[in-house]
Amino acid sequence: MAHPFRFGCQSFTAASAREWKDKARRAEALGYSSFLLADHYIGPGPMLEATRHPVQSIAAVPAITLAAEATTSIKVGCRVMCVDYRNPVVLAKEMATIDLFSEGRLECGLGAGWLANEYEAMGVRLDPAPVRIARLAEVIRVVKAHFGDGECAVEGAEGTGVRAVGFEGVPKPVQRPRPPIMIGGGARKVLTLAGAEADIVSFNFNNRSGVIGPEGVGLSTAAETARKVGWVRDGAGDRFDQIELEIGAYFTVVTDQAAATAKAMAPMFALPPEELMRHPHALIGSVDAICEELLRRREEYGISYVTVGDTNLEAFAPVVAKLSGS
């Protein structure tokens, strides 16, 4: 049975507390189910410019907290927190506190990290992907133990640097048995792990190159996304139908000139226009056409949770109104 549609809005910037709170409140008023950001820290400069990643002007934890304080019903969180940027116990306590203060509205997003230049700029060691994914698996154990009852007893595998032993996690989150855990990624190992451990799987590009570019986009086409869903299924086994599948619609344009728009955009991604139109991270067309495409994709992939950027907050709202909960 297909999951009902939910829609998230993701933002990276705010010039003031008032602007940030207004964005969160507007997303809530328009019917979005979640208001999210990412977990990046370096500002403009050659290190970030080389990655082609947008600037995130605000830090994740205080921004999530302020969005929760400004709203009453919308979910808040991060897609996703980089587990290499914090001690796992600190991360778990911060997330539990946000769930407590938001009265049970946290989506706890976790990821293995990938933005190579950010690691270098901040002096954080970028381990090989298998090591980072192994560390992510251990951090998930810490978070679940911290959210649960009884003492934490996690001795991470050798080389992960993860340890949480001899204490009970406090505060307890409001959501029981715990806030939903979202795990994001775009390659086999992390998505198989997500299938085994996540409540929500967030599909991203395969960012093995450490930068945003045509390679990652090309490894996230319709055919590749079908493979990714298969990897999640492999990890999930009998619990696959319980998992919510989420994707970032990074290339969303609400327009009555879909063909011309796709033709103009396609060279940036080294894709034929028709491939871009079918690309699971793109939504190009009228409100009705996008609704039809989302229904088709839910049937094909099982993806029911779609996140757009705040630049599309208003334009995408009619899609949210038509499909949310259906």
Q: What DSSP element (H or E) covers 178? A: none
pLDDT at 170: 98
Residue 2 pLDDT grade (very low, low, confident, very high; cuts 50, 70, 90): confident
Q: Is the pLDDT of residue 67 over 70?
A: yes
Q: Is the pLDDT of residue 32 over 80?
A: yes
Please, what are the domains in the chain?
6-323 (3.20.20.30)
Reduced 3-state DSSP string for 134-165: HHHHHHHHHHHHHHCCCEEEEECCCCCCCEEE
Q: Which amino acid is it at 276?
A: L
β-strand partners of 303:
245
pLDDT at 294: 98
76 closest CA partner among 32, 113, 137, 114: 32
The answer to whether the CB of 234 falls within 8 A of the CB of 217 is no
Q: Is the pLDDT of residue 210 over 70?
A: no
45 CB burial (10 A radius; 0-12, 13-18, 19+) = exposed
Q: Is the pLDDT of residue 221 over 90?
A: yes
pLDDT tens sequence across 127-169: 999 999 999 999 999 999 999 999 999 999 888 999 999 999 9
Q: Which amino acid is it at 65?
A: T
Question: Which pTM does this prediction carry?
Answer: 0.96
Q: Is the pLDDT of residue 249 over 70?
A: yes
DSSP state of 324: B
235 closest CA partner among 191, 180, 292: 191
**Mean pLDDT, residues 304-320:** 98
pLDDT at 50: 92
**Mean pLDDT, residues 109-138:** 96
β-strand partners of 202:
184, 246
The answer to whether the CB of 258 falls within 8 A of the CB of 277 is yes
pLDDT at 206: 79
Question: To the nearest 5 percent, what fractions of the chain are helix, strand and coil?
Answer: 45, 20, 35
The runs of H, that is alpha helices, within the chain are 17-29, 46-49, 60-70, 88-101, 116-122, 129-147, 188-197, 214-218, 222-236, 258-265, 273-278, 287-301, 317-323
